[in-house]
Amino acid sequence: MLVVMRQDAAKSDVDHVIASIEGVGLQAHVSEGKFRTIIGAVGDRELIVDMPFEAMPGVEKAIPISKPFKFVASEFKPGGTVVDIGGVLVGRSHMTFIAGPCSIESDTQAIESAIAVKAAGAQLLRGGAFKPRTSPYSFQGLGRPGLELLAECRRVTGLPVVTEVIDARDIDPVSEVADCLQIGARNMQNFLLLSEVGRQDKPVLLKRGFSNTVEELLMSAEYVAKGGNADIVFCERGIRTFEKTTRATLDVAAISVLRKQSHLPVIVDPSHAAGRADLVLPLALAGVAAGADGVMVEVHPDPSSALSDGEQALRLDELKDFIDQVRAVAVAVGSI
Ligand code: PEP
Ligand code: MN
């Protein structure tokens, strides 16, 4: 149940609603909007439906949410959420570019990439130190030394860093360096990891699993939000279909559906969907035309020698033109 307070509700009215919710053993989650406060009552449905919220002072209306996800539902925050990643804003009328190599491989590869990413106009640097690889014989990432290189990239360029966490035991060391924790496609339903990142305060970039529905993605975000961390950005990165010409099939509709069903920002990752560099630009354009709030793209100083995902990496000197073209579509569709 969402209890929407009137614009002129007093703090004592808000406190009264919270006390009534907590008084029957339910949880109250308060969202302070610019104009009004919304309180989510979560717990036993039977208890919630009988509570006379609309008779309480300062309450405008009480909206039952029958959906299985609540904190991430659009009704919870009708104005939309803008997530702050190290001072860079993602969501609603901000078009945010996240770029960098798939994996952090060496100091020269990392620093050269970071400097080029900044020069091309991207606002956030990506790069994996811990890599979830399909084969145990593939490069697994540099691990902690990779995190140190990311910290160095941030010192040199000032760009906030997005990097993946694949194990709840690594959350502390990763969040010492990261401005945003990426949960990859393979971990979208690692519920323990989702709950743990929900209990810390760095924003979370949640990628869609390649065999998961949009509703399952929303439920995974609900795990994070339920832990207290509502700074979540969705990422559509393609799903597995019968089509073989691309690595995955970019589900463009999912971007629009997420924008309607949730108040959280949505970005598109055309690199993992395409799996080949020549299709990265058209897929990014499609994603932004469908309403994506940003783009995450893989780049590499020498794609042919990359230790992971080289086939889909743009060269560093291609990034500026890529960003310019995507931005033009964002302007054309009125996103910025
Ligand atoms: C990545 O971003 O490098 C990555 C591993 O992506 P995904 O989890 O979408 O496969
Ligand atoms: Mn990759």
Give the model's pLDDT for residue 113. Answer: 99
User: pLDDT tens, 205-251?
Assistant: 999 999 999 999 999 999 999 888 999 999 999 999 999 999 999 99
Same domain, 92 and 49: no
DSSP string for residues in 42-61: ES-HHHHHT--GGGSTTEEE
The enclosing domain of 43 has a CATH number of: 3.30.70.1140
Same domain, 137 and 189: yes
**Is 195 among the domain residues?**
yes
Best residue for ligand 1 mutational test, from 140, 269, 297 (most atoms within 8 Å of Cβ): 269
Domain range for 123 is 83-332
Same domain, 94 and 231: yes
**Is 72 among the domain residues?**
no
**Is 78 among the domain residues?**
no
Same domain, 36 and 143: no
Give the model's pLDDT for residue 68. Answer: 86
| Pairing, β 37-42 against β 2-5 | antiparallel
100 pocket-lining for ligand 1 (C-beta < 6 Å): no
Same domain, 51 and 142: no
**Is 189 among the domain residues?**
yes
Query: In total, how many domains does the chain have?
Result: 2
User: pLDDT tens, 238-292?
Assistant: 999 999 999 999 999 999 999 999 999 999 999 999 999 999 999 999 999 999 9
307 pocket-lining for ligand 1 (C-beta < 6 Å): no
Q: How far is CA 290 from the centre of its chain?
A: 17
**Is 90 among the domain residues?**
yes
Ligand nearest to the CA of 311: 2
pLDDT band at 32 (very low <50, low <70, confident <90, very high): confident
**Is 70 among the domain residues?**
no
End-to-end CA distance of the chain: 33
* pLDDT value at 47 more than 90: no
Same domain, 125 and 27: no
**Is 74 among the domain residues?**
no
Phi, psi of 83 (to 5 degrees): -95, 135
The enclosing domain of 209 has a CATH number of: 3.20.20.70
Same domain, 155 and 217: yes
Closest C-alpha residue for ligand 1 atom 1: 102
User: pLDDT tens, 84-124?
Assistant: 999 999 999 999 999 999 999 999 999 999 999 999 999 99
Distance 175 CA to ligand 1 centre (A): 18
Closest C-alpha residue for ligand 1 atom 4: 184
Q: Which residues surround ligand 2, an ion (CB under 5 A)?
A: 102, 309
**Is 71 among the domain residues?**
no
Same domain, 160 and 33: no
Same domain, 49 and 179: no
| Three-class DSSP labels, the chain | CEEEECCCCCHHHHHHHHHHHHHCCCEEEEEECCCCEEEEEECCHHHHHCCCHHHCCCEEEEECCCCCCCCCEHHHCCCCCCEEECCEEECCCCCEEEEECCECCCHHHHHHHHHHHHHHCCCEEECECCCCCCCCCCCCCCCHHHHHHHHHHHHHHCCCEEEECCCHHHHHHHHHHCCEEEECHHHCCCHHHHHHHHCCCCCEEEECCCCCCHHHHHHHHHHHHHCCCCCEEEEECCECCCCCCCCCECCHHHHHHHHHHECCCEEECHHHHHCCHHHHHHHHHHHHHCCCCEEEEEEECCHHHCCCCHHHCEEHHHHHHHHHHHHHHHHHCCCC
Indicate the pTM of the whole model.
0.92
Same domain, 52 and 92: no
